[in-house]
Amino acid sequence: MASAPIHRPVITLAPLRRRLVANLIDGLPVALCLGLMWHQGWGGLDALHPPDPAFWPEFYADLYWQAPRTLLYPWGWCAALATAWSTLWLMTLYRSPGQMLTRVWLVDATKQRPSRLQLAVRCLVYPIAWLSLGLGWSLAFILPSRRTLHDLLGGTYLSQNPPQVQDKGQDP
């Protein structure tokens, strides 16, 4: 006897434009922190200050040939700051400030709030999107499901509808 097919609810994905705006809003604090770090010379970013701004191209060309790893510091700090920012908001309120302002909700395949394990996996994979220079995000433009790498591996979706709340007496 064949078993009945599993019914999964249809998730209305948030439009890419809205998700991009949410990412830009969430990227502002990271960019401000990175700019402050660069200006103050914290985190090894002082090596990126040219002695004379008029010679930036020559300075960075020389830096590339003498100490190329120094040019990776901003990417590493971006990944670390963005991951910390995202993890803080997702683990406490299940949404980032950009998602709150653009009315985007994070849901799982059953349209419920994602579990802590799903959020942890999503947050651990998130730096790969930064360190791969955006390849993790480019999946949203390629795949028919419009999901990024951290959403695919975390089992989450960015929906334009809030998660369904399950009653306490109802079976899962």
Domain ranges of the chain: 16-48+59-159
Q: Where are the alpha helices (DSSP H) in 41-162?
A: 56-66, 73-93, 97-101, 116-131, 135-142, 149-154
Question: H/E element holding 25?
Answer: helix 16-40
Q: What is the pTM of this model?
A: 0.81
Q: Looking at residues 143-163, what average pLDDT do you find? A: 93
Q: Which of 128, 120, 102 is nearest to 156 (CA)?
A: 120
pLDDT at position 164 is 85
Q: pLDDT digit string (tens) for 92-123? A: 999 999 999 999 999 999 999 999 999 999 99
Q: How confident is the model at residue 167 (pLDDT cuts 50, 70, 90)?
A: low
Cα distance between residue 113 and residue 155, in whole Å: 11
β-strand partners of 73: none
- Judged on CB neighbours under 10 Å (0-12, 13-18, 19+), 39 is exposed
Cα distance between residue 168 and residue 162, in whole Å: 18
Long-range contacts, 101-105 (Cβ 8 Å, 24+): 101/22, 101/25, 102/14, 102/18, 102/19, 102/21, 102/22, 102/25, 103/18, 103/160, 104/14, 104/18, 104/19, 104/22, 104/158, 104/159, 104/160, 105/14, 105/158, 105/159, 105/160, 105/161, 105/162, 105/163
Q: pLDDT digit string (tens) for 51-102? A: 898 999 999 999 999 998 888 888 888 889 989 999 999 999 999 999 999 9
